[in-house]
Amino acid sequence: MKIRILLWPLSFLYAWVLRLRHLFYDLGLFKSVGFKTPTICVGNLSLGGTGKTPMIALLIEYYLSKGLHIALVSRGYGRKSHGLIEANVESNVNQIGDEAFQLYKTFPQIRMVVCASRVRAMAYLEASYLHGVTEKEISLGSNQSGSLSPPDLVLLDDAFQHRAIKAQFNILLTTYKKPFFKDFYLPAGTLRDHQLRAKKAQVIVVTKSPGHIQENKKESFISRLNLMPNQPVFFSHLKYANALIGLNERISLDTLKGEEIVLVTAIANPEPLVVFLTSIGALVKHLKYADHHFFSPSEVISLKQYNRIICTHKDFVKLSDAIPQLFYLPVSHDFNERDKQDFYKALPEV
């Protein structure tokens, strides 16, 4: 707590820099670029752990069910490569990052582009030579995807704070336990963007909520978000699958009751997973690593000593080739039935 107090002056400075940055964009001193292809941005105001990847997966499933050609643009956080890369069947986790690789492995029918500049990635997807996209990159994209035709919809992963690109629709995520109105600016807190930016989202999803929340508690929570009257808010909870998934085997969760298990996580907030596994009676030994951690050869050797390891899907795609006794527990966002119907109605038609 004392350290946080010492960091407050830096946090106030950071907040003012944010204000100036947004002011420059609002005045047109910094340029925002829009594109013809419909775009949906999924983001948050705080660092990590709000469930962006499961939300992206939910949107991909929804729009694929409508027969749309989907592309996903991601920074590819933690990757060992640089520049603009479009994923293909030969791509690996080091090239495009763990979350991007997880989504591409799950949905190989989508186009996946990783690039630090979302503007450059969008220009690439629209086969444009603007914004520094080179002829070589356009040619490479043709070889990988088989077509330069723009997708029907582009999902922008973690781009809410990127004012350089104008998304046509924004979904803002914040967690029930640590919403942005209880957070503070970096470095004293984890807030990386101004709280007033929440008013620019078309939809707000409060993630990792309890399965049932009393209406008066919902209303109180929503009032503290300080939103506009036309901004719908939905409360989602985590839904875990009933079986562990391995390379060649599925294991029912019922078998974990009373069993000592090793849980390996390299995600921002593993607490909900630990609580869930404990709630079903498993005796959890938790090996916790930093978010997006890439495991060293010595760490992999150390993990191989265990008979069976449970991890997240993001960690599974990094480790499963080296550790055959690895299993992951699928997780997704879920809503109560009324919120689920209203959430999908709130999404844009493409």
- What pLDDT is recorded for position 142? 39
- What pLDDT is recorded for position 99? 94
pLDDT in tens, 76-100: 988 999 999 999 999 999 999 999 9
Residue 134 has pLDDT above 80, yes or no: no
Q: Calculate what percentage of the chain has a pLDDT beyond 90.
A: 86
Q: Are 317 and 105 in contact, with CB atoms under 8 Å apart?
A: yes
Average pLDDT over residues 235-252: 95
Residue 55 has pLDDT above 90, yes or no: yes
- What pLDDT is recorded for position 4? 75
Q: How confident is the model at residue 238 (pLDDT cuts 50, 70, 90)?
A: very high
Q: How confident is the model at residue 199 (pLDDT cuts 50, 70, 90)?
A: very high
Residue 64 has pLDDT above 90, yes or no: yes
Other C-beta atoms within 10 Å of 285: how many?
Answer: 12
191: left (phi over 0), alpha (psi -120 to 50) or beta: beta
Average pLDDT over residues 175-181: 96
Average pLDDT, the chain: 91
Which residues have C-beta within 8 Å of that of residue 61, sequence separation ≥ 6? Answer: none
Residue 130 has pLDDT above 60, yes or no: no
Under CATH, which number does the domain 242-329 receive? 3.40.50
Average pLDDT over residues 39-58: 95
- What pLDDT is recorded for position 168? 97
The string of DSSP codes covering 119-152 is HHHHHHHTT---TT--HHHHHHHHHHHS--SPPS
Q: What is the pTM of this model?
A: 0.92
What residue segments make up the domains of the chain, in order of their start?
Answer: 242-329
Which residue, chain included where needed, has tokens 């079986």? 243
pLDDT in tens, 297-327: 999 999 999 999 999 999 999 999 999 999 9
Residue 204 has pLDDT above 60, yes or no: yes
**What burial class does residue 326 get, using C-beta atoms within 10 Å of its C-beta: 0-12 exposed, 13-18 middle, 19+ buried?**
buried
Residue 144 has pLDDT above 60, yes or no: no
- What pLDDT is recorded for position 138? 42
Residue 135 has pLDDT above 70, yes or no: no
- What pLDDT is recorded for position 150? 79
Q: Are 62 and 344 in contact, with CB atoms under 8 Å apart?
A: yes
